[in-house]
């Protein structure tokens, strides 16, 4: 399998929505499916100072034979959080993505120790920092005050809400809208708006290989090729190495669905126009 380019890895290092939170509700980013906002700077610092560095190659399982007993924090590359079909059975399974500054694993069961009901895989070369659950308990005990408790709970809620939206999209929306949802999510965190010949395009690093994209949106590679051909014909979709682009307005329909799903009075209200949300996201780049 061809390696991802250095430019792709650089793009995933983009620091967007990574600064201090204005409150326990998290950064100024709406909930998106399959990818969460970056971890709070306090939690990222814990991993940077206390985590053990580990590296994995594409396709390697982060926990090949054991239950999940530790947190892994992604410093470099892309990992997948997978709910797969039974071994040897056909089917796309389902997958969420963990790029840099996110948890690769460990958030689901660090208190109860229950089975995490999934597997965790490196989708590119990755570098993570690992902290055992038992050690994290010891680290947090001296800091067990209300502010830290609410911060940790807020982080957990953001992950759960992202998963909930992802499952809702898989259950309720057709394949094209599922693909647009993934592209919109990736555009929010990594996209840049370009204007050409009176049209606005959003350009972003590919969210993994085709097989990864198909697994996230739960469809076949044949169907994915058909969806991309439709976007190529109707929305100017183009693949440029490890990056792709399409007309930003093509993402409006799934943006409208997410806006409706949020309901009135959402903490982070999505603007009516998807381009406005993406422009605002770009302004977050590098703010810490």
DSSP codes joined into one string, 73-95: EEEES-EEEEEPPPTT--S--EE
Predicted local confidence at residue 139, as pLDDT: 77
Query: pTM for this one?
Result: 0.94
State whether residue 11 is helix, strand or coil: helix
State whether residue 245 is helix, strand or coil: strand
Which residues of the chain are modeled with pLDDT < 50? Answer: 88
Q: DSSP letter for 286, please.
A: T
Predicted local confidence at residue 165, as pLDDT: 97
Q: What's the chain's average pLDDT?
A: 91
Q: Are 175 and 53 in contact (CB under 8 A)?
A: no
Contacts of 274 (CB under 8 A, 6+ apart): 184, 248, 249, 251, 252, 255
Q: Is 121 exposed, middle or buried (0-12, 13-18, 19+ CB in 10 A)?
A: buried
Q: DSSP letter for 51, please.
A: P
Spatial separation of the C-alpha atoms in residues 271 and 254, rounded to whole Å: 13
Beta-strand (E) ranges in the chain? 52-56, 70-76, 79-83, 94-98, 103-105, 119-122, 126-132, 192-196, 199-205, 238-240, 243-247
Predicted local confidence at residue 234, as pLDDT: 97
Beta bridge partners of residue 82, listed in sequence order: 95, 119
Spatial separation of the C-alpha atoms in residues 58 and 24, rounded to whole Å: 35
Beta bridge partners of residue 121, listed in sequence order: 61, 80
Predicted local confidence at residue 288, as pLDDT: 62
Spatial separation of the C-alpha atoms in residues 81 and 175, rounded to whole Å: 20
Q: How far apart are the first and last CA of the chain?
A: 36
State whether residue 269 is helix, strand or coil: coil
Least Cα distance to 103 among 190, 180, 163 occurs for: 163
Predicted local confidence at residue 84, as pLDDT: 60
State whether residue 281 is helix, strand or coil: helix
Q: Which fold is adopted by the domain 6-159?
A: Jelly Rolls (2.60.120)
Q: Are 266 and 30 in contact (CB under 8 A)?
A: yes
Domain ranges of the chain: 6-159, 172-282
Predicted local confidence at residue 88, as pLDDT: 47
Q: Which fold is adopted by the domain 172-282?
A: Arc Repressor Mutant, subunit A (1.10.10)
Predicted local confidence at residue 87, as pLDDT: 54
């Amino acid at each position: 399998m061809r390696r991802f380019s250095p430019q792709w890895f650089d793009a995933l290092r983009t620091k967007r929505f990574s600064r201090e939170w204005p409150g326990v509700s998290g950064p100024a980013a709406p909930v998106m499916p399959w990818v969460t906002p970056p971890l709070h700077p306090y939690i990222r610092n814990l991993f940077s100072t206390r985590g053990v560095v580990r590296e994995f190659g594409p396709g390697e399982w982060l926990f090949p034979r054991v239950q999940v007993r530790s947190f892994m924090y992604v410093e470099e590359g892309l990992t997948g959080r997978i709910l797969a079909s039974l071994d040897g059975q056909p089917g796309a399974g389902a997958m969420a993505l963990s790029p840099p500054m996110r948890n690769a694993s460990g958030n689901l069961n660090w208190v109860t120790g229950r089975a995490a009901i999934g597997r965790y895989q490196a989708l590119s070369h990755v570098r993570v920092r690992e902290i055992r659950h038992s050690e994290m308990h010891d680290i947090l005990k001296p800091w067990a005050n209300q502010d830290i408790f609410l911060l940790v709970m807020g982080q957990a809620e953001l992950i759960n809400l992202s998963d909930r939206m992802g499952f809702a999209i898989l259950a309720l929306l057709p394949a094209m809208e599922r693909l647009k949802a993934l592209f919109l999510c990736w555009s929010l965190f990594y996209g840049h708006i370009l204007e050409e010949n009176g049209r606005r395009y959003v350009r972003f690093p590919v969210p993994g290989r085709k097989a990864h994209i198909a697994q996230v949106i739960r469809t076949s590679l044949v169907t994915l090729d058909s969806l991309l051909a439709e976007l190529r014909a109707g929305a100017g979709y183009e693949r440029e190495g490890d990056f792709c682009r399409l007309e930003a307005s093509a993402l409006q329909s799934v943006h409208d669905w997410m806006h409706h799903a949020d309901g009135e009075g959402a903490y982070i209200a999505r603007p009516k126009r998807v381009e406005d949300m993406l422009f605002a996201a770009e302004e977050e780049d590098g703010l810490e």
